[in-house]
């Protein structure tokens, strides 16, 4: 900063502005405020042949405290009424609850506007793409959430789309997200996609035949979801209290609540 | 002789080092609230059969100094709701002004007041979330008590990050650690809360305030308590903690082996 008050205008301009006053002495200004937090919890989505199940626990935490035992993370999106009972899409958000809530409100408003402007409900595929652009719109101040969108595709088959916080997304058979994702996802790989399962007594080494991949029936998937959460509750302190499942079929969205351990 | 006007009358750089002129800049980062200064501690609240009880003590601390001992941290809104403030007191006073202007604007509508506790909570949560998204937070956690659109007891929290949640009993700050377990014993779920009488709820909240005074170093034995029902708000702002238990203390001697 010796050049600060140099007598040579050519070196660093005319030197009359306070904007050229030194800044080094003050050092870097740091903000003490951190705009994010983690509210724990876990979500899970599985698509079947003609249905999609999206589930999430209902606990909300801050640190070691439980904020509440009932704060749903799974929402109906884009219905025409206040109760959303004619909605066809479901969104789950887990991570920072305030961002999750803001994201859900935004997507819901957009899907409602789509119906108003186009006179038809939004398809999952379209909604999935739109959700990605919403998330990417805050690329440099992200919504700190892992979102999963579920519904039925144009052929009536179950569809699950999963996201990262800045909008990367793909369609998947099943996906777990949130605090206990790492506990649930390997279990789903094995029990939904039959990974590492082979036909009994077929052979060894390269002769091993993989178990045939057939979509599971609805009642089995429901049991799988409950088992996944029961075991997550045992092993992760941020998961528990209640399990809210939404099951999307061509007849609408069915809601099921089951209690989980509260410890 | 230095001919540059901005250097006149200044300490010499080569002697004293560069002058810290960062405060003169207009293009640097804005200074926002980075941490709370004068603070209020816990707010506790509990739902019962036909309303909500909410309480907060009358202290505003300046760090560990119990600086202001007559600060009312419960605010009524439109004779239907009560907001209990924890956290920064200047931000509480700003929110108080904001709610006053909201109150005035609402009074202009043809139907008179339409905002219930639920609407008020949504409003406050949006204010908090907007301010945190601007990196200029209001450093508070508030509890909103009253009735919702269906006339059922309503109790919810909103904080500086815009996080919201609702529960049969709620407590902010230190109260989340100490009062919440006591209140959850009285009302573990919504069903249990809907069977509580007003007397039971009052007693549980008063007991919590006492435990907080025992164990929270930033608390006071003078407190405000409000009961919200459909008949209106019963707010008492100069309550004193009763029946404290200190008699056991003179039996305790030393830290181990001392006999008397």
Residues B35-48: tens digit of each pLDDT: 899 999 999 999 99
Region of A247 (left: φ > 0; alpha: ψ -120 to 50; beta: rest) is beta
Q: Are B121 and B158 in contact (CB under 8 A)?
A: yes
CB contact burial A154-184 (16+ within 10 A = b; e otherwise): eeeebbbbbbebebebeebbbbbbbbbbebb
Chain B residues lying within 8 Å of A7, measured CB to CB: 3-4
Q: Of B21, B133, B166, which is closest to A22 when you measure between CB atoms? A: B21
CA distance A139 to chain B (A): 14
Least confident span in B17-31, B132-146, B161-175, B206-220: B17-31
Please give the Cα distance from A150 to A73 (Å, whole number).
13
Q: Of A18, A37, A68, which is closest to B161 when you measure between CB atoms? A: A37
Which residue is catalytic, options B33, B76, B122, B164? Answer: B33
Please give the Cα distance from A55 to B3 (Å, whole number).
73
Residue ranges of the domains in chain A? 42-260
Residues B224-255: tens digit of each pLDDT: 999 999 999 999 999 999 999 999 999 999 99
Q: Are strands B60-62 and B65-68 parallel, antiparallel or unpaired?
A: antiparallel
pLDDT at A24: 54
pLDDT at B10: 76
Question: What is the full DSSP assignment across chain A?
Answer: -GGGG-S-HHHHS----GGGS--GGG---------------EEEEEE-SS-EEEEEE--EEETTEEEES----EEEES-SSTT-TT--EEEEEEESHHHHHHHHHHHHHHHHHHHHHHSSPPPHHHHHHHHHHHHHHTTTS---EEEEEEEE-TTS-EEEEEE-TTS-EEEESEEEEETTHHHHHHHHHHHTS-TT-B-TTS-SGGG--BPP--PPPHHHHHHHHHHHHHHHHHH-TT--SEEEEEEEETTEEEEEEEE----
Query: With the C-alpha atoms ordered A183, A184, A188, A191, is the resulting torsion angle positive or negative?
Result: positive
**Nearest residue in B to A72, CA atom:** B165
More confident residue, B31 or B118: B118
Residue ranges of the domains in chain B? 38-236
CA distance A261 to chain B (A): 13
Closest CA to B77 of B56, B105, B50, B38: B105
pLDDT at A205: 78
pLDDT at A169: 98
Q: Does the reported pTM lie above 0.90? A: no
pLDDT at A17: 47
Q: Do B162 and A31 touch (CB under 8 A)?
A: no
Beta pairing partners, B147: B153
pLDDT at B180: 97
Could you confirm whether B33 is annotated as catalytic? yes
A interface test, pick of B8, B21, B119 with most A CB neighbours within 10 Å: B21
pLDDT at A3: 45
CATH no., domain B38-236: 3.60.20.10
Q: Do B19 and A21 touch (CB under 8 A)?
A: yes
pLDDT at B70: 97
The mean of the pLDDT values for chain B is 92
Q: Do A23 and B161 touch (CB under 8 A)?
A: no
**∠ Cα B199 B201 B204 (to 5°):** 110
Residue A257 touches partner B, C-beta closer than 8 Å: no
Tokens of A235: 């092993």
Q: Which residues of B touch A (CB under 8 A)?
A: 2-7, 13, 17-22, 24-25, 27-29, 32-35, 129, 132-133, 135, 137, 157, 161-167, 170, 176-177, 180, 189-190
Residue A28 touches partner B, C-beta closer than 8 Å: no
pLDDT at A9: 46
Q: Do A67 and B177 touch (CB under 8 A)?
A: no
Residues A132-183: tens digit of each pLDDT: 999 999 999 999 999 999 999 999 999 999 999 999 999 999 999 999 999 9
* Domain covering A42-260 assigned CATH 3.60.20.10 in the classification: yes
Residue A71 touches partner B, C-beta closer than 8 Å: yes
Please give the Cα distance from B99 to A111 (Å, whole number).
32
Residue A1 touches partner B, C-beta closer than 8 Å: yes
More confident residue, B68 or A17: B68
Q: Do A102 and B162 touch (CB under 8 A)?
A: yes
Average of pLDDT values for B136-144?
96
Q: Is the pLDDT of residue B174 over 80?
A: yes
Closest CA to A224 of A174, A153, A149, A162: A174
Q: Do B20 and A26 touch (CB under 8 A)?
A: yes
pLDDT at B30: 62
Q: Do B33 and A26 touch (CB under 8 A)?
A: no
Residue A106 touches partner B, C-beta closer than 8 Å: no
Residues B77-99: tens digit of each pLDDT: 999 999 999 999 999 999 999 99
User: Which residue stretches of chain A have pLDDT < 70?
Assistant: 1-31
In three state form, how does the secondary structure of chain B look?
A: CCCCHHHCCCCCHHHHCCCCCHHHCCCCCCCCCCCCCEEECCEEEEEECCEEEEEEECCEEECCEEEECCCCCEEEECCCEEEEEEEEHHHHHHHHHHHHHHHHHHHHCCCCCCCCHHHHHHHHHHHHHHHHHCCCCCCEEEEEEEECCCCCEEEEEEECCCCEEECCEEECCHHHHHHHHHHHHHCCCHHHHCCCCHHHHHHHHHHHHHHHHHHCCCCCCEEEEEEEECCEEEEEEEEECCCCCCHHHHHCCCCCCCCC
**Nearest residue in A to B34, CA atom:** A32
């Amino acid at each position: 900063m010796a050049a600060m008050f140099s007598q040579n205008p050519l070196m660093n301009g005319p030197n009359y502005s306070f904007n050229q006053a030194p800044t080094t002495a003050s050092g870097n200004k740091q903000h003490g405020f951190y705009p994010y937090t983690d509210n724990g919890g876990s979500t899970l989505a599985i698509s079947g042949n003609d249905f999609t199940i999206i589930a999430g626990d209902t606990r909300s935490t801050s640190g070691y405290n439980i904020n509440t035992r009932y704060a749903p993370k799974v929402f109906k999106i884009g219905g025409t009424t206040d109760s959303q009972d004619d909605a066809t899409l479901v969104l789950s958000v887990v991570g920072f609850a305030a961002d999750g809530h803001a994201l859900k409100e935004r997507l819901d408003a957009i899907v409602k506007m789509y119906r108003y402007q186009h006179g038809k409900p939004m398809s999952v595929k379209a909604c999935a793409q739109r959700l990605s652009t919403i998330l990417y719109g805050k690329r440099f101040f992200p919504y700190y959430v892992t979102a999963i969108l579920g519904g039925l595709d144009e052929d009536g088959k179950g569809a699950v789309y999963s996201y990262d916080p800045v909008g990367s997304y793909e369609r998947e058979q099943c996906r777990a997200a949130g605090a206990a994702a790492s506990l649930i996802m390997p279990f789903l790989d094995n029990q939904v996609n039959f990974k590492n399962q082979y036909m009994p007594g077929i052979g060894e080494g390269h002769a091993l035949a993989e178990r045939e991949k057939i979509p599971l029936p609805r009642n089995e998937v429901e049991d799988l979801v409950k088992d996944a959460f029961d075991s997550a509750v045992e092993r992760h302190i941020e998961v528990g209290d209640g399990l809210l499942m939404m099951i999307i079929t061509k007849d609408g969205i069915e809601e099921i609540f089951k209690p989980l351990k509260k410890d | 002789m230095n001919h540059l006007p901005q250097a006149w009358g200044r300490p010499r750089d080569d002697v004293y080092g560069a002058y810290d002129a960062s405060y003169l800049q207009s293009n640097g980062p804005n200074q926002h609230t980075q941490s709370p200064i004068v603070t209020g501690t816990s707010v506790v609240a509990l739902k019962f059969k036909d309303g909500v009880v909410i309480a907060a003590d009358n202290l505003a601390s300046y760090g560990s100094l119990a600086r202001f001992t007559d600060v009312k941290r419960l605010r009524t809104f439109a004779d239907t709701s009560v907001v209990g403030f924890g956290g920064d007191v200047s931000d509480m006073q700003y929110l108080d002004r904001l709610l006053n202007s909201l109150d005035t604007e609402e009074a202009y509508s043809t139907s008179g007041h339409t905002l219930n506790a639920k609407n008020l909570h949504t409003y406050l949560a949006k204010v908090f979330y907007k301010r945190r998204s601007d990196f200029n937070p209001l450093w508070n956690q508030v509890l909103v008590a009253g009735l919702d659109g269906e006339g059922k007891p309503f109790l919810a929290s909103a904080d500086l990050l815009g996080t919201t949640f609702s529960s049969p009993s709620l407590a902010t700050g230190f109260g989340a650690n100490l009062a919440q377990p006591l209140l959850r014993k009285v009302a573990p779920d919504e069903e249990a809360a809907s069977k509580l009488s007003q007397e039971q709820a009052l007693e549980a909240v008063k007991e919590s305030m006492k435990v907080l005074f025992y164990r929270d170093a930033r608390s006071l034995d003078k407190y405000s308590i409000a009961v919200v029902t459909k008949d209106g708000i019963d707010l008492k702002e100069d309550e004193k903690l009763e029946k404290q238990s200190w008699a056991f203390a003179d039996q305790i001697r030393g830290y181990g082996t001392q006999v008397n």
